[in-house]
Each structure stands twice: as C-alpha cells, then as structure tokens.
Structure 1
Amino acid sequence: MKIYASVALASALFLTACAGSSQTGSQTTATASVHNYQCESGATIAATYPTSNTATVEYQGNSYDMDIAVSASGARYVGDKLEWWTKGSGAGSEGLLLQHMADGTSGDTIESCTKH
C-alpha cells in the first residue's frame, strides 16, 4: 500500500510541476529593443517592434501603435493616420514618418531620420 501511495504522490507532484511550467511559459513576453533615430528637423524618434507585425513609434511625447503594411521596399507600418517607413538596418539606416491618407496612400513627409 505504501508503494501505491508513493506512486500517487509522485504522479501528483509531476502533474503539478507540468501545470506550473505551462503557466510560466504563457506569461513570458519578448522584450522589444529600442531603435533610435535622429531626424533632420532635430527631433528624435524611438521605434520598438513588439512583434514581427507591429511597431510602436515614440515621437514628440506621443506613442503611436502601428501595424505592418505592404511596401515596395523596406518595412512600412501604419496607424493613427501616420506611417513609419524604414529602409536598411543598423546605423545609418533611414526612417520616414509620413501622414497616412484615408485612401491608404502615403501623404506628406513629417520627418526624415537616420538611425544612430
């Protein structure tokens, strides 16, 4: 009888450990690194990419959440009537902040920036 009790206890502990590890895994989130850009106007833009399909752009004290959009080249994100379009990677890569028009096209350039 002691053997059955030991096996039951070991099984219960094993199942509890498995349940605990799956909860821990679901709470894990990726940390997005900050990409800093210096703009020709003197302003700065800090962009993070929480997922492969989203960007958060910090500009003039405001935060804009954007979703990936179709682009001919580079990476383009759209949200809050703005577009964030980057080309290249690493220091010296380009970033443009543009108005996003209701018809889905790019509007006027707000900022032209370089990653540092």
Structure 2
Amino acid sequence: NNASTPKSNRIACLYYVEKDYLPFTAHWQELRTYQGNLLSDFGTVEPGQRVLAQDSFKLILPENGDYYIIAQINDIENRLNPKPPSTMAIDLEKLHQSYLWSVLDTANPVYITC
C-alpha cells in the first residue's frame, strides 16, 4: 500500500504485454488465477505494508520475448473498470504515478515501478 491510509476491499488484476506495446492497452492480455478468475481479492492493507491475494495468478508467458507485467489494484465497486481505454496510447507517466498500477519488466524483474 503506497497510500497514507489503510485500504480494504481491494481486488487485483494482472495483465502482460510485449515491451514494445506497453502504451497500447488493446495489446494487454489478462492473466487468470489458479482458480480461473480474472480478479483476486485481498484483505485490508496498512500503509507501507504488503499483502497476498486470496488466489494466486498463473504466470506462464510465451518464451520468445520480453514482457511487462501490469498489476491493477482497484476497489470492489470499480472491479468492472479493468484497464484504460484502448483507442490510443496511454500516458505512461500518469500510469507510473498512480498507486493503483504497478509495472514489472520481465527482463529486469528486480526493478518494479509503482
């Protein structure tokens, strides 16, 4: 939780995309959990703390290429608002600044932006 207040009733959704297509959400592919869901619930998270989602995501990517993994954290009420509109390139700086999104570079997995 990068916010200054506790967060509860949150859900996680994961996507992957080839590195060259990160700004274009039409190319983002959803990852499913082990139970086959697109979303995973998790409990209350205090500021500066981490929490494990209730249902883990499967991470099986095609072998030939570098990818970004995009995580969206949202509240239960907005669970049907999964990703930005795909009609044009998104503003990656805004995505980077939002505490609701996190991007992991599979070629450099130690570096996570959030």
From the CA coordinates, give the structure whose radius of gyration is larger: 1
Q: Specify the TM-score bucket, using the shorter chain as the normaliser.
A: under 0.3
More strand by share: 1
TM-score (structure 2 length as normaliser)? 0.26
Point out which structure has higher relative CO (alpha carbons under 8 A, 6+ apart). 2
Question: Please, what TM-score do these two structures have when normalized by structure 1?
Answer: 0.25
Structure showing the higher helix proportion among its residues = 1
